[in-house]
Amino acid sequence: METRVEHVTDAVGGMPPTVIDVQGLTKSFSGRRAVDDVSIRVQAGEICGFLGPNGSGKTTTIRMLCGLLIPDAGSGTCLGYDIVREAPQIKRRVGYMTQRFSLYEDLSIAENLDFIARVYQVRDRKRLVHETLGRLGLYDRRAQLAGTLSGGWKQRLALAACLLHDPQLLLLDEPTAGVDPKARREFWDTIHELAASGITVLVSTHYMDEAERCHTLAYIAYGKLLATGTAEEVIERSGLVTWSVAGPDLYELAHELRTRPGIDMVVPFGSTLHVSGSDEQALGDALAPYRGREALEWRRIEPGLEDVFIKMMNGARA
């Protein structure tokens, strides 16, 4: 199989080469703009978390990156290939894991992998399938029909199929939806192993704990890219100020706080509330009447990713 690494943009100044570099991506369907002027840059070996609510444009963006959709506007490269003029080259060089399980449920695990290997015309197919079964912990189940697998094992099989042709880029579209916590953790351990080996990963997710395991993040809502950077950078740039409060009758307190000017969000977190605002002075003035209540315990905390993304979502326009 031909090597692709040399086609990726060369590293500059000791930085890893750029694998995804797109600007101004735009795509409309039936007059509705699903993706609106989105620019993303991802370096080799990086895990980039692609976040956003349902219908925000994540899947459409991923399909433009891997050559399955041609953008209405915008330009850029993926693995060094032009996303418009060289889309067929990109398709053969990425591993794309869709939201829905897309392999054949009436074939066994081994038969599915053998079929995918034939599609990509990989060399030494039988040896590669055998090694992939072992690598992903599927060997003991190789004869089991794919349709009888649980969600976690289907996910593992789908990832194995993505890796058969030795891609340098994985595009994973909500790969852990509906998967139990143990399987999700094992999946992410595998993703970090792949990234450590030099594979670049763009993964869309709804889970904040998964977002925190990514090297960088990109948050999109209603087709607009609202934030990029590391988790720490996204939180810092948000300008959000957050207080935690514990005590009795939190439900009634939350209802009351939501009516106060200067308070942008009140979100229950277990036995506490997170109370946030964008203006520190206005938030302090709003909370002042409640800070003196002996039954309430107030504590200034760092806002979490979920606080920041809820704020972005509330401020975005559909």
What is the CATH classification number for the domain harbouring 261? 3.30.70.330
pLDDT for residue 2: 37
Q: Of the given ranges (24-33, 49-58, 106-115), which has the lowest mean pLDDT? A: 49-58
Tell me if residue 43 falls in helix, strand or coil. Answer: strand
| 66: helix, strand or coil | coil
Regarding whether 251 and 212 lie in a shared domain, the answer is no
Give me the chain's average pLDDT, please: 90
For residue 188, count CB atoms less than 10 angstroms from its CB and return exposed for 0-12, middle for 13-18, buried for 19 or more. Answer: buried
Mean pLDDT of 19-48: 96
Identify the domain containing residue 122 by its residue range.
Answer: 5-235
Measured CA to CA, the distance from residue 71 to residue 84 in angstroms comes to: 8
Tell me the Ramachandran region of residue 261: left when phi exceeds 0, alpha when psi lies from -120 to 50, beta otherwise.
Answer: beta
- Cβ pair 214, 50 in contact under 8 A: no
Give the rounded percent of residues in the chain with a pLDDT score beyond 90: 73
What pLDDT shows up at residue 51? 93
User: Same domain for 163 and 223?
Assistant: yes
On whether residue 309 sits in a domain, the answer given is: no
- Average the pLDDT over 113-119 and give the result: 94
- pLDDT bucket at 317, cuts 50 / 70 / 90: low
Predicted confidence at residue 13, as pLDDT, reads: 56
Q: What is the pLDDT of residues 162-187, one digit of tens each?
A: 999 999 999 999 998 878 888 889 99
Burial class (CB in 10 A: 0-12, 13-18, 19+), 202: buried
Greater model confidence, 317 or 291: 291
Q: Give the Cβ contact number of residue 300 at 10 Å.
A: 8
Q: Tell me if 102 is assigned to some domain.
A: yes
What pLDDT was estimated at residue 161?
Answer: 94
Q: How far is CA 165 from the centre of its chain?
A: 22
Any domain includes 308? no
Residue 208: pLDDT band (50, 70, 90) is confident
Confirm if 29 and 189 have CB atoms less than 8 A apart.
no
Q: How far, in Å, CA of 185 to CA of 18, rounded?
A: 28
pLDDT at position 7 is 52
> Within 13 A of 219's CA, how many CA atoms are on the CB side?
25
Of 235, 254, 286, which residue is a domain's last? 235
Q: Are residues 87 and 216 in the same domain?
A: yes
Residue 3 pLDDT class (50, 70, 90 cuts): very low
- Position 15 scores a pLDDT of 65
Same domain assignment for residues 55 and 133: yes
Domain count, the chain: 2
Residue 130 located in a structural domain: yes
- pLDDT at residue 4 tops 60: no
Residues ≥6 apart with Cβ < 8 Å to 83: 22, 64, 65, 67, 71, 75, 76, 77, 90
Q: Which among 208, 235, 262 is the end of a domain?
A: 235
Q: How far apart are CA 84 and CA 24, in angstroms?
A: 13
- Mean pLDDT along residues 304-315: 85
User: What pLDDT, on a 0 to 100 scale, did the predictor assign at position 179?
Assistant: 83
Instruction: Judge whether 317 lies within some domain.
Output: no
- Could you count the other beta carbons within 10 Å of the beta carbon of residue 85? 10
For residue 192, count CB atoms less than 10 angstroms from its CB and return exposed for 0-12, middle for 13-18, buried for 19 or more. middle
Residue 258 has phi, psi (to 5 degrees) of -65, -15
What count of other Cβ atoms lies within 10 Å of the Cβ of residue 159?
A: 21
Pair 217, 77 in one domain: yes
Do residue 271 and residue 136 come from a single domain? no
- Residue 190 has phi, psi (to 5 degrees) of -65, -40
- Counting Cα atoms < 13 Å in the Cβ hemisphere of 231 gives 17
How many CA within 13 A on the CB side of residue 141?
A: 20
216 and 249 both lie in a single domain: no
What percentage of the chain reaches a pLDDT higher than 70?
A: 94
Strand partners, 40: 22
Q: How confident is the model at residue 5 (pLDDT cuts 50, 70, 90)?
A: very low
Phi/psi region, residue 11 (left: phi>0; alpha: psi -120 to 50; beta: rest), is beta
Residue range 65-98, pLDDT digits in tens = 998 999 999 999 999 999 999 999 998 899 999 8
Task: Indicate whether 125 and 231 sit together in one domain.
Answer: yes
Report the CATH number that the domain containing residue 20 is assigned in CATH.
3.40.50.300
